[in-house]
Structures are given as structure tokens and as C-alpha cells.
Homo-oligomer: A and B are copies of this chain.
Amino acid sequence: MSLYQAPLKDMQLLLERTLAKTGLLDLPALAEFDSELIGAVLEEAGKFANGELAPLNRVGDVEGCRFEEGRVITPSGWKEAYRRFCESGWLGLALPADFGGQSLPRFIAQPVNEMWLSANQAFIMFHALTQGAVDILLHLGSEAQKARYLEPLISGEWTVAMALTEPNAGSDLGALSTKAIPQDDGRYLIKGQKIFITYGEHDLTDNIIHLVLARTPDAPAGSRGISLFAVPKVRINDDGSLGEANDVLCTGIEHKTGLHGSPTCSISYGERDACYGELIGEENRGLAAMFILMNEARLSSGTQGIALAEVGYQRAREYALERIQGSDYLTGRQRVALVEHPDVARMLLSIRSEVMGLRSLSYLIAALIDKAEHGRDDAERTALQSRIALLTPVYKAFTTERGNLMTGTVIQIFGGMGYVEETGVAQLMRDARINTIYEGTTGIQARDLLFRKIQGDDGAALKSLLAEIDELSGTLKAETGPSGLGEALGQASAAVSAELSAILDRNRADPLQLNAGGVPFLEALGTLCCAWQLGDIALVAQAALAEGRDPDYHGNLQALAQFYYAHSVPRIDAHLAAFRQARAGIDRYRFTIHTN
């Protein structure tokens, strides 16, 4: 049984469609990235994911990381895979060529990232950290800081750790208490305890650059008094060589239910009062600095939902085609394959259709980011940024929530064998389970959506999105292909639109009441976005069918869209009903829990 095969055919189709729709390759900066180049990158990445990373996924789960006297030992093979990953240029793929990267656009990095995550999420978690740190340094770092950090980070010589969370400051970073005391030489003495630091300590590289949120002595309380510091594990000499240890001590790693191969560290900074860091950006602007990487991190964790579902689907499909069990109702045939049972087919299609819709959404967002970066004028860039900002919390929360369900469905298809760890699919459920929590929980994404992204621009970005969905609905209605999709899409869009006034009229519903229905509203919008993408895929397939191209494949794409419209789109109304009714009851509900 193959562990993972990059779904190149699906990816290529979706990429080509996304590029065609967004006109991305018409931009001068991106014109060189033709489909031949894209195809070559995807194929090589697929080989690396399947050949190098996937075989280590279960190794990482079984062995986990070991903690020994302040050191963290990664699972067997991790070090070699890390070295090859960096040497092959994958780490620097979308990082700036000025500092040793390859500056490939986001739309190519997106399918590649999905492959890494499908193959081995626990391993690859260093990747988004480096990406985020590079973004921060490019935006906020001094020239000296860029010179000091960027090349070693992009080459993979050093890695990055993000030290945000403290025991009493999780989702609420404003509560953190780590101190940063300015020294005469311009450095800061760092002192405090941080927890839940991914790759905060490991044996992959000689140095780790910790980006630490801390408070200077006179900083205001709350989130307006947080600054960002670069704190290397090993001090860096002026010539870039490594000096003495910097009083950064790993005090333990968590025993998590999944992602065993990714060390989640507790770190003590300055136990011996000898931990020094340098300020990145301005004092008290640390949280703003974090927002630079937050969107990146949210898109990356959203992709984890898709990636784990994809590899789970591949395993479940293979098993369902091979495993003989039970008889066929219709034909009376004895001993048929699992896939012949309609409910097994239903479960498989529920994963594949949703993965295709959400993957398509991920490509769209990636392409919008590229377009916003290279866009022709400010007005276009601003409009694109609004669309990206609106879709980010929906994408992050919805794909990860669905990822939890889809990886559970994979176990269900395997039956009793899925419950046995050796099969490897229970790991997918366990690995996935953090994705709805870190980088902002689903509840926090819903709050971001309702208040910042919808109320914040008086609904403009959402209205523009719904208008585009309505346009597709009209096109689908006019098509002779798959029937009913256009009508269903239009109704769903109208149903979401009908709730807009309640969100925007601040006199009608107070924030607490709105917030109580935030997640159901986000789920409605997420389902609508997935339907939107699948409706569009059905159109693309229709065009290919009209030309007689690859009729099985394109017919199947239409079937995926029809499946999603049959099974999932009806949930939109249910989510919206919950959104409406949740608002009325929230005071009562909190009282109910208090008095139980």
C-alpha cells in the first residue's frame, strides 16, 4: 500500500484553472512561470514528499521526540531528511532570492506545501516558522538584522521558534509577562517562561532563532505593551559565526495526542540572567509584528486540514477497493469489495469532493496573494487584500474543522483496522486534532470574521464575494451541463446574504449575541465557498467534456460537485438557522452552565 502519492492531476487542473481565472501569468513579474515549469516543480516535490518524507511519518509518531537534560532528540531519519530538504532547495522555494531562496510565487508554493503536509505534518512544521520569520525580518528588520539572520534561515542552517504562549497567556497574548530589560549596549536581557513552542529545541541545526514576545519595563499593560525580540539559542559573533550559549533552556516537551515527531517545548529564558536578545521593529509593536506572520500561519494550518484528508482518502480508497467484505444488495453477489457498499462509497466521495473544493479555495487564495503583491495599481491591490482578509479566517477554521471530520471518516472506512495504530490512519486523526486550535481557534476565527472582516468594512468584502458567487450561479443556470447546481448555489448565497443586515446593524445584536452564532455562520460561509469552487470546477469539466477530453476524469469532477451539492450544501441553511437562534439565547446559556 502506497503511503502517499501527490495528486498531480488534480493539482494541475486546479492550478491551470486558477491561473486562467485570475490572469496571474499576464503580470510581467510572473510571466516566466509557465505550466511546464509548474509541472516540473510539482513532480519533483511529489517525489520528495512520497520518497523522503512519507516513510518517516509513522517513525515520527511511534518514536516521538526524546527529551534528555535540556536537549531534544528528533526521531530517526529526521536529521537526514531535514538536510536533504534544505539542500534540495525546498525550504527556500518561496523565499527571497536576494538571500538565497528561489522567489517562486505563492501559487506554486501552495500545492507543494500541501504535499509536505500530507506526507509528514509533524516533520515539516519548521517550514512555516522559517517562512513567517523571514516575512517579519523583511518587513521590520534593520539592514544589520537582515544580514545577520536571513541567509542562514533561508539555507536552513538555523531554524526559527516562535515564543508567544505562556502558562497564563494562550489565546490572550495580552496577558503575557516575560520581561525584556534594556542594556547599555542596546541589547535586552530576556527573562520568562514560554510554553507550546514548536521546534523550540531540537537537534536538526546548531542554532535556533527564537522570536520572543516580551514586555519592556515601562510598557503599557495588555497587548499594547508587547515587543518582539530575536533571541538566538547560541549567540552570534559579529562575523556570523556562533559564540557562547545564550541561557535559553528547554525544560521539557509535551506529550501530545498527535504530532509526536514535532517537539512542543517549554523554554526558560534567562534562568541565569544571561539571556540576551535584540529588538525587532519598534518597542510595543510586537503584536503588530505577529500579525505579519499570522495570516501566513493561518493559511498554512488551514492547508493541514486538506492535506491530512487527502492522504487519508488515498489510503481509504485503496483499502476499500482491495478489502473484500460482505455481499452486494442489488446483485446478490457474495464477497464484494468494501467500495461496492453504498455507504462506503458515500464516505469516500464526501472526503474527495470536499478536498477538491477546499484545495481549489486554497489555490485561489494563494493566487490572490501573488496578485496583490504584483498587482498593477493600489485600488486593485486593496480590493485583493480585502478578499484575502475575508477568506483567511473562513479557510483556516473551516478546512481544519472539516479535516477533523474527514480524518475520522477515514478511520470509519477502515473499520476495526482503522483503530489499530499499525494501519497508520488513526495517526491522521490525532495529528489533525490540533489544527482547529493553534494559530487561533475556530471560535477566534469566527470572531475575526464577524467583527474585523465583515463589520470592519461594513460588509463590503463579503458583498463583493457574494456577488461573484451569484455570477457563477447565473452561469451555471445557463449551462446545459450538471443541472440544479446554479439554483442551489444562488439560494445558498442569498441565504447567507440575508443574514448580513443582522451582522451590520450594530443596534440590533450586541457583540456577545453575534459571537454566540459566529462559528455556525463561519461554517455556512465555508460551505458556500466550497460549493462555489466546486460549481466552478463543474463548469471547467463541462467545457472539457464538450471537447471530448478525458471524459472519465472530467465526468468524475462533475460527480464530485454534484455530491457536494447533494450532501453538504443543505447544511448551509442549518448553520444559518443556528446562527440566528444562537443570538437570542446566549445570556441564558451562560447562566445555564454556571448553575448547571
By a beta-carbon cutoff of 8 Å, the part of chain A in contact with chain B is 165, 168, 170-172, 174-175, 196, 222, 254-258, 317, 320-321, 324-330, 334-335, 339-349, 352, 404-405, 408, 411-412, 415-416, 418-422, 426, 429-430, 433-434, 436-438, 441-443, 446-447, 510-513, 515-520, 552-553, 555-556, 559-560, 562-563, 565-567, 570-571, 573-574, 577-578, 581-582, 584-586, 588-596
Contact = CB atoms under 8 A, between A and B. Distances in A.
A426 B343 contact: no
A175 B512 CA distance: 57
Contacts of A553: 595
Nearest to A168: B324
Contact of A321 (B434, B567, B594): B594
Nearest to A167: B417
11 contacts: A256-B419, A256-B420, A257-B426, A329-B511, A343-B446, A347-B443, A430-B430, A556-B591, A560-B592, A562-B588, A567-B581
B593 A345 contact: yes
B577 A566 contact: yes
Contacts of A196: 416
Contacts of A321: 593-594
A240 to B, nearest CB: 35
Given A171-B325, A346-B589, A349-B592, 19 more contacts: A165-B416, A257-B421, A257-B426, A342-B516, A343-B442, A343-B518, A346-B519, A346-B582, A349-B593, A352-B592, A352-B593, A352-B596, A408-B408, A411-B437, A412-B436, A415-B441, A559-B589, A566-B577, A566-B584
Given A343-B518, A563-B589, A512 B412 contact: no
Contacts of A586: 342, 345-346
A202 to B, nearest CB: 19
Contact of A325 (B170, B328, B415, B593): B170
A96 B440 CA distance: 55
Contact of A418 (B174, B325, B437, B582): B437
B419 A593 contact: no
A138 B446 CA distance: 56
Chain A to chain B: the 7 pairs with minimum beta-carbon distance, closest first: A566-B581, A343-B443, A257-B426, A570-B577, A342-B516, A570-B574, A329-B511
Contacts of A595: 552-553, 556
A593 B317 CA distance: 7
A584 B418 CA distance: 29
A566 B582 contact: yes
Contacts of A434: 416, 419
The DSSP consensus for interface residues of chain A is helix
A272 to B, nearest CB: 28
Which of A419, A433, A510 is packed against the most chain B CB atoms within 10 Å?
A: A419
A433 B408 contact: yes
A335 B517 CA distance: 22
Contacts of A344: 443
A195 B513 CA distance: 52
A324 B170 CA distance: 10
A341 B443 contact: yes
A71 to B, nearest CB: 21
A426 B433 contact: yes
Contacts of A342: 512-513, 515-516, 518, 582, 586, 589-590
B585 A563 contact: yes
Given A556-B596, A571-B574, A574-B574, A512 B329 contact: yes
A340 B511 CA distance: 13
A420 B571 CA distance: 32
Contact of A510 (B330, B438, B511, B592): B330
A556 B588 CA distance: 8
B446 A593 contact: no
Given A321-B594, A329-B511, A345 B567 contact: no
A510 B257 CA distance: 43
Contacts of A513: 342
A566 B578 contact: yes
A120 B563 CA distance: 40
A342 B578 CA distance: 13
A516 B172 CA distance: 45
